[in-house]
Every structure is written in C-alpha cells, then in structure tokens.
Amino acid sequence: MIIIMRPDANDEQINNVSEKLKKHGFGIHLSKGVERTVIGAIGDKSAIELETLAMLPGVSEIVPIRKPYKLVSREFKIEDSVISVSDKLKIGAGQPLCVMAGPCSVESHDQMLDTARAVKAAGAKMLRGGAFKPRTSPYAFQGLGEEGLKILAEAKKETGLPFVTEVMDTRDIELIVKYADVLQIGARNMQNFVLLREVGKTGKPVLLKRGPGSTIEELLMSAEYILSEGNRNVMLCERGIRTIETYTRNTLDLSAVPVIKKLSHLPVIVDPSHGTGKWDLVKSMSLAAVAAGCDGLMIEVHPHPAEALSDGPQSLKPDTFAELMSQVKLVAQAVSREL
C-alpha cells in the first residue's frame, strides 16, 4: 500500500508514519515528489489497523496497490523517474534523448577507441560494449573480461562518455562496479532473481532488458526485485521478443514503450539492433522508437561489421550511425524532445 501525505506534512510527521510502519514489519520506500510525498509500505496489511494509521498527523489517504509490482508502478510514483548516470547525464522524461552506442563486444583496444571517437563525434551520450558476453554457443567469443573493462575505461577517459556493460554473474559484480557507470542485465538474465537482488544492492544505475519470451508485467516484476533492494536507478529496455516471424532476429515491440510508461514511472530505452538483427532495419526502427516516446536508444556500432566477433550483421558502420543521428534529431524535435 501507499500512504499519501498531505502537501503541508513536515519531516517529523513523515518520519513518525515511517517509524510506525517499520515497527509493524513493513519495508519503507519514501518518494518525495513535487506535489506530494508518498510512503510505500511493503508488507502484510493485516499487521496494522489502517484506520489508526489514517488518523496520524500529516496523512492524507491510504491507497492499496493492487498490481503485483509495487515500487515500479505509477500508483507508487506519479512523476517520471529521472536516472542520474553522471553529473552531466540524466535519462528520463523531460531530459534529452540518450543514445548509447558501441560494439556488441569489446574485441581490442583500437576497435573500441576508434568506435568511441566516432560515436562521440556523431552525438552519442554513452558507450556500450560487452566485456563479458553471454553466447548461445560455448565455443563462441565470450569477451575479454577485466581487460575489456579496462579498455572501456580508457575510452571513457578519452571521450568523456560514460559506459554501460553487461553483468552476467553475481561473482563479477564487485569487479564491474569498479569500472562501469551503468550495469546491464541482459535478456537471458531478466529473471535471474539472485542477480537482480545483488545489482539492486549496489545502488548503481541498472539497464534491465526484456527477455525474448517475457511479458511486460514480467519485466516490471523483475524491475521490482531491483527496486526492492533500495536501488531506484533502473531503466527498462525493449529489445524485441520472439514471435512466429523469422525474417527478423526478434519482433521489436514498440507498443511496449507507451504501455510501460502508462504502467510505470521508469525510463524506457529501445534496442533496435537486437530487436531486428539486421543493420538496414535499425534506422527505421530507431526513428519509430523515438516517435513512440522512448527515452533513449541502444545501437550497435562497429568500425568493421564484417569482421566483428559477435553481432556483425546488426551493427552499423560509423558513417551510417552518423547519418542516423541526424535523422533521430529531426524526429526528436517533432515530438518535442532534444537530442
């Protein structure tokens, strides 16, 4: 349930309500918005008399949250969440679109640095690159590990672009947190609840990708695991789902963008590279995603896609990416967003 405080409720009244809830075994999540303060109470409602709670000074009303996901819901927080990646980069509604770009995998120093310079020049706000790679085949390239993280850190130092990279294993979290600005939970791990809880404890911004066979509600429930550990810095990523269609790698569900924004306050990123699996479809799906209201794009860029160790067919060349960015800017302006 959520306890909505009166607009004139002071800190003492808010703390009093919070402490009373804690004494009855509730987990407390405080959300201070522009117009109201909301106290999210996670626990057994039968443990406390709601009538007594409603009589406490400063309480306006008590509203039950009927959805299975609580903290990510619009009922808990009306205002859109804005995620601070750095002092200069914020992602969410009302903020400029954030384009994350780079190769699927960090393959070498020159490959990553060349790509970082190119995407920065084209207007990207973040780098993406996998140091640890989940692959369908155990014999495929699995990433460079810590060496890849060091290369990403060097690219960040030169270009000033923060970077997002995937976390696959709880044993790698401590290492990756030392380097990365945003932790990515890939589609295969969307329902790895142990991993979700552990990244939730880091406090680092998290990019949670939708699983290929997962519903929107299941995605929101996975995000709930992260928020329940106290980490509010979560972004959701639509990257395509499996359908009967075989021409594209996945079916990019762009309707998920307005649906998620209706149900949740979390920012939404769209990945048209994995969503289509074909480089020549990335542009049109990127433009459509911006028109649908996404808060950012995640696009794979490689200096030599034909030689890429992973996901070459869906990667853009730097010059093609630059052309895309000029068109994204126009669509963003049409829907009253900056780039």
| Whether this model's pTM surpasses 0.85 | yes
Are 63 and 1 a contacting pair, CB within 8 Å? yes
DSSP one-letter string for 132-190 = S---SSTTS----THHHHHHHHHHHHHH---EEEE---GGGHHHHHHH-SEEEE-GGGT
Answer yes or no: same fold for 2-63 and 83-334.
no
Residue with tokens 């309707």: 255
CA distance 162 to 250: 28
Angle subtended at Cα 261 by Cα 259 and Cα 265, rounded to the nearest 5 degrees: 140
DSSP one-letter string for 93-106 = TTSPPEEEEE-SB-
Rounded-to-10 torsion of CA 131, 136, 138, 139: -90
Q: What is the pLDDT of residues 305-328, one digit of tens each?
A: 999 998 999 999 999 999 999 999
Q: What is the pLDDT of residues 234-245, one digit of tens each?
A: 999 999 999 999
Which tokens sit at 325? 């960015």
Helix (H) or strand (E) holding 77: none
Average pLDDT over every residue of 285-290: 98
Cα–Cα separations (whole angstroms), residue 243 to 250, 253, 281: 7, 10, 17
Q: Domain boundaries in the chain?
A: 2-63, 83-334
- pLDDT at position 113 is 97
Are 133 and 142 a contacting pair, CB within 8 Å? yes
Confidence of residue 77 (pLDDT cuts 50, 70, 90): confident
Higher-scoring residue by pLDDT: 227, 143 = 227
CA distance 71 to 39: 10
CA distance 200 to 128: 20
Q: Tell the CATH superfamily of the 2-63 domain.
A: Phospho-2-dehydro-3-deoxyheptonate aldolase; domain 1 (3.30.70.1140)
pLDDT at 163 over 90: yes
Confidence of residue 31 (pLDDT cuts 50, 70, 90): confident
Q: What is the pLDDT of residues 92-123, one digit of tens each?
A: 999 999 999 999 999 999 999 999 999 999 99
Tell how far CA 174 is from the center of its chain.
19
- pLDDT at position 143 is 74
- pLDDT at position 140 is 65
Q: Which residues contact 76 (CB under 8 A, 6 or more apart)?
A: 2, 29, 31, 38, 40, 65, 70, 265
pLDDT at 134 over 70: no
83-334 CATH choice from 3.10.350.10, 3.20.20.100, 3.20.20.70, 3.50.50.60: 3.20.20.70
CA distance 166 to 184: 4
